[in-house]
Structures are given as C-alpha cells and as structure tokens.
Amino acid sequence: MSATPDDRTPVTGPFRISVDATPSGVALDMTHYLSTFVLAVAEAAVEDGPSLLDDLQNIADLGRSARHQGANSHATHERDEAVQDLLDELVDGGSVPVYGGQVLRLAEALRRAVAPRPVPSQREAGAA
C-alpha cells in the first residue's frame, strides 16, 4: 500500500523515503526499508538460525580484522563480499528502488532541503 506523497516523503513505494533538512545537508529516513531488512533477518533466523548466526559471526570477525588491517586489506574485501552476499540473499542486494515520478519528487525534495534559507534578523527572532 502506497501513501500519498508529501513534501517530507516524496517516495511512497515500494519503500517510503523521507527527506529532512539538517544544518549540514539532509537526512534520508529509510526506516521502511530497514524494517523490511530486519524482518528478513528475523525470517532467516527462524528458517536456519545456526547458519545465519555463523554468517553474522564471520562478518563480525572479518570486521574486527579489517579494522586492524586497514581499508584495503584482504579482510576488508572479504567482509564486504560477505555482507553483500547476505544482502543479496535477504533483500535483493540492498538497493532501494525508486520509480517514475518519485525520482523527480525525491530530487526536488533534496533540492528544497539544501536550498539556502534566510537567517531571521534579531528583531524577527524576538530580540528587543
């Protein structure tokens, strides 16, 4: 079920994406997609918990090795591959699709969020 797009949520499906301005850029709210990921992990745990736990422990071990060995280490590449394999298995690779007119609404919401905003003068801000 897709909601009606608004200024904050320009992408309504298949995964909702909301845009909030921050002092230094934007924050994309991907909660809907992340909820789908967590539910997929939970289902995988029910179907084959020991195998999923082994995969997650391997990723954690590789992550620790990668932190010690550096960004271009074998452990880093192996960790990234293991994470991608899990994402491929659980959530179609981790890509969030955005279709049709929603692409333009997302681009416009991003433009609006980063557009310069006037700074209120002291008098407008309530100074005496």
Give the residue carrying structure tokens 């298949």. 14
pTM beyond 0.85: the answer is no
Of 32, 8, 12, 31, the C-alpha closest to 20 is: 8
AA identity, residue 63:
G
For 42-91, what is each residue's pLDDT tens digit?
A: 999 999 999 999 999 999 999 999 999 999 999 999 999 999 999 999 99
Of 58, 125, 123, 55, the C-alpha closest to 89 is: 55
For 103-124, what is each residue's pLDDT tens digit?
A: 999 999 999 999 987 777 666 6
Q: In a 10 Å sphere around its CB, with 0-12 CB exposed, 13-18 middle and 19+ buried, how is residue 86 labelled?
A: buried
Phi, psi of 29 (to 5 degrees): -85, 110
For 13-52, what is each residue's pLDDT tens digit?
A: 999 999 999 999 999 999 999 999 999 999 999 999 999 9
